[in-house]
Structure 1
C-alpha cells in the first residue's frame, strides 16, 4: 500500500467518524485488529427500539476513479466482516449484541477535487 493510498484511507476514516458522530452514533472502537483482520469502526446507534451495534466498513475513493466504494465489498469480504464482528462481540463486549442487534454498515467516502468528502452511510449494507 502506498503512502498516498494510506493517507486517503485515513482521510476517509476521519470523514466517516465525523459523519457517524454527527448522526448521533457513539464510536466504540477504531481500527480494531486481531489475527483474523481489522474492523474500521465499531459504533453504537441509539435507535428508539433499542441500541444497535454497528460495525462500519469504510471505503474511500477519489472522485472519478474506476470503482465506486460500494463495489469493493464482495462475498468473501462480507463473510470476513461478519466473523470479525462476532469476534469483537466476544472479546470487547458482553458476548451478545445490544437489544437492537448487530448491523454491518458501509460508509462510502468519495474525495472530490474541491470541497469536503461526500459520505454515504448504507445501514445494513452487508448481509
Structure 2
C-alpha cells in the first residue's frame, strides 16, 4: 500500500490530467492560505471551479467523495471566498467539484467527477 501523502499527490496528478483532458484549464494546484487549502482551482466556460480531490485504495470507509462532509465543505467555501477576495474576476460564476479516485495501481484506477457537488 502507498502512504497517505503519496496517494494524495498521485490522486491530484491523476485528477489534474483528467481535468485537462476534459477541457479544463488548471489555474492553480495546492492553493494555500491562512485559512486552509484548495487542491485544484480550474476554469471552464464561464466558471472558476474549486476542485476537491479524494483518493482511496478501497471502499472500506465509503466512496472517496463521501469524505467531503459538511465540515470539509464549510472549510472549502471559506478558502474559496478568501481566494476570490484576493483574485476578483468580473462576470465569472463559481462552483465546487469533487473528483473521487479509487486507485489500485498506475494502470488500474477509476475516476468519478461530480460537477457542482455542493452549493455555496
Q: Same fold (TM over 0.5)?
A: yes
Distance 1:82 1:101 in 2: 14
Partner of 1:123: 115
In the alignment, structure 2 segments of 5+ residues that lack a partner are none
Aligned-CA RMSD value: 1.7
Which of 48, 60, 67 is 1:65 aligned to?
Answer: 60
Distance 1:71 1:86 in 2: 23
Partner of 2:12: 13
In the alignment, structure 1 segments of 5+ residues that lack a partner are none
Partner of 1:76: 71
For residues 64-109 of structure 1, the C-alpha deviation after alignment (integer angstroms, 9 at most, x for no partner) is 4332111101111111111111111111x2x24x535000000001
Alignment TM-score, normalising by the size of structure 2: 0.89
Alignment TM-score, normalising by the size of structure 1: 0.85
Higher strand share: 2
